[in-house]
Amino acid sequence: MKLDEQTRNDLFDYLLRLGDDRLILGHRLSEWCGHGPILEEDIAMTNIALDLIGQSINFLKLAGKVEGNGRSEDDLAYHRDALDFKNLMLVEQPNGDFGYTMTRQFVFDVYSLHLLERLQSSRMEELAAIAAKSLKEVRYHLRHSSQWMLRLGDGTEESHRRVQTALNDLWMYTNEMFETDEVEQRLAKKGIAIDSSTLKPDWEKTVSNLLNQATLNVPEEQGYWSTGSRRGIHTEHLGYILADMQFLPRAYPDAKW
């Protein structure tokens, strides 16, 4: 697909968003490795983390190709500062307890599912192919997180309380998933990207249906929504993630594995 300069710049930015969401969330989930509540779940979360990082590799590799400056997916992951990252604030939030992690995962999985379903029809064949491949994994991710939301929400009084508290805490970060801007709108008009605002009704329906089954309440609006992550505005948590994640390649930039 032939791209003019404006479209190339927009697409590079958009691909960073897709890649960064999955890179940071994958890193967060990897922190559970060796600490899961049961052995089977420890393995499941580690595998999901690997899926997300694999998806990130594909999106960032394509971003480097679109940019045309010779940067690889590793360069984009390990040699950008926090202000250059485009991930949602939601995915950089600390793991908290197991219920908190599953709640964060669930609300992102629903968003990711509906987004990737639509991106399969992108006019950019490479982006459509990555979306189709990733969607197979995300269907499993959502099934996994949904089952835990049901088990915990409709479980004991303690598990219900913890998951409802997590929902209430994380809800302020969910609206960012549906914010759109000129970059996204220009790409959507060309049939390359998806206008995120159009995903919200499907997301709300899927989330509400599951929460109802899990005897959980959709949180009331709290008067504040996070905003600006696609422009490089983040919580303090991202800096700590990057300090951990980027230490080795920055300390030994010429190392070969």
pLDDT at 220: 87
User: Which comes out higher in pLDDT, residue 185 or 39?
Assistant: 185
Please identify which residue in the block is written with the tokens 């690889």.
72
Please state the length of the chain: 257
Between the CA of residue 91 and those of 71, 86, 147, 167, what are the distances in Å?
24, 11, 20, 14
Let me know: does 178 contact 225? Beta carbons within 8 Å. no
Q: What is the DSSP letter of 218?
A: P
pTM: 0.96
pLDDT at 217: 97
Backbone angles phi, psi at 223, to 5 degrees: 85, 0
b/e per residue, 180-200, with b = 16+ CB within 10 A?
beebbebbbebebbbebeebb
Domains of the chain, earliest start first:
5-217+235-251 (1.20.1260.10)
pLDDT at 99: 97
pLDDT at 253: 84
pLDDT at 140: 97
Q: Could you tell me the two tokens for 100? A: 């908190």
**Cβ neighbours of residue 155 closer than 8 Å, sequence gap 6 or more:** none
* pLDDT, average across residues 64-77: 97
Q: Which of 35-39, 149-153, 202-206, 234-238 has the lowest mean pLDDT?
A: 35-39
Question: Mean pLDDT over all residues of the chain?
Answer: 96
